[in-house]
Amino acid sequence: MILNNKIWVFAVISLGFVFFSCIIDKGLVGLNHYLREFDFSDAGQLADLPSFGEDASILENGKLKSVIEMGNHKGLGRKFWFGKNGGEPNEAEMEFTIWLDDHFQKNGVSNEAGKFSGFEGIYNKTAGWGGKKVTIQNSWSVRIAHSGENSEGKIPLGVYVYHPGMKERYGTTVYSDFFLNREQTYTLRLYIKMNDINDDNGVLALFVDGNEVYRSDSWQFRKSNGD
């Protein structure tokens, strides 16, 4: 699917289903300079998006569909491995377009972050994900965050980060001033630039429909190079 000559991701989250009809991963600047696109026109593309953890996704009518079982909270479980596709970049961004149905986050909890897509560098599996706090381990992760609706029925949007120096067991959530409406299409873009070793100069930015809604240039994601 192309919009304004740009390949983008389209996702529908509706009644326990997640659909992706096209995904873009701009390998960007650093070790790699490339643009990687997935339009899900054939099953062969999934070889570069292998399942990881819990994943029940299938291709259907040019879309990647994932069923979320009743009472469960996990959906799509696929990863693109930079290390197997030319090397790990120091900068990267991803972009996808999303539409949320009328039931999305109706019963959500305001103090618990849901997660859309993101990036990770899990070099030590004891940290950086799933309630595994980062202390001295070489691991980090960044995802786009959402939570339960506010009093106006809108969905808060922000970032969810596992990083050295985090205070709690679970990731640090920072919300923007932007809120998503249900049954409305948005294009989300997440940009990351890794910090210099041991410096607090990592960049993280989130855009909605081309407008920047969050940016910080003081993140520390890593204390050493990836193993």
pLDDT at 51: 80
pLDDT at 26: 46
In Å, what is the CA distance from 92 to each residue of 26, 59, 82, 164, 205? 6, 26, 10, 20, 11
pLDDT band (50, 70, 90) for residue 221: very high
pLDDT at 176: 95
pLDDT at 111: 61
**pTM for the structure as a whole:** 0.79
221: left (phi over 0), alpha (psi -120 to 50) or beta: alpha
Whether pLDDT at 131 is above 50? yes
pLDDT at 71: 61
Helices (runs of H) and strands (runs of E) counted in the chain: 0, 16
pLDDT at 89: 80
Mean pLDDT of the chain: 76
pLDDT band (50, 70, 90) for residue 110: low
pLDDT band (50, 70, 90) for residue 10: very low
Instruction: Name residue 206's amino acid.
Output: L
